[in-house]
Amino acid sequence: MVVVVMVVVVMVMMVTEVGLVVMVVKIVIVLVVVLVVLVILVVMAMAMIMVVFGMVVVMVVLILLPMVGWW
């Protein structure tokens, strides 16, 4: 009986350890995915800002050049 209880306890401990490891791995994977998505979004936002900024600069230059030319 004692041996059976010991075996059951060891099995349960092993299962819970495996479960904990799986949980930790899942959490880590989720965190990594979230981080990657955030980085991609930030990069895209930066690129969009740069493009918009570039377009604004071009527009300003196009608008200012004729005015400067008129002067």
The single-letter code of the amino acid at 34 is V
CA distances from 39 to 11, 42, 44, 65 (A): 41, 5, 9, 38
64 or 68, higher pLDDT: 64
Per the domain annotation, does 28 fall within a domain? no
Residue span of the structural domain in which 49 resides: 37-71
With tokens 């969009």, the residue in question is 48
Specify if 47 maps to a domain: yes
Mean pLDDT, the chain, rounded, equals 86
Q: What is the pLDDT of residues 20-54, one digit of tens each?
A: 888 888 999 999 999 999 999 999 999 999 999 99
Whether pLDDT at 66 is above 80: no
Number of domains in the chain: 1
Helical spans, DSSP H, in the chain: 2-70
Residue identified by tokens 């959490």 is 27
Query: What six digits make up the tokens of 45?
Result: 């936002």
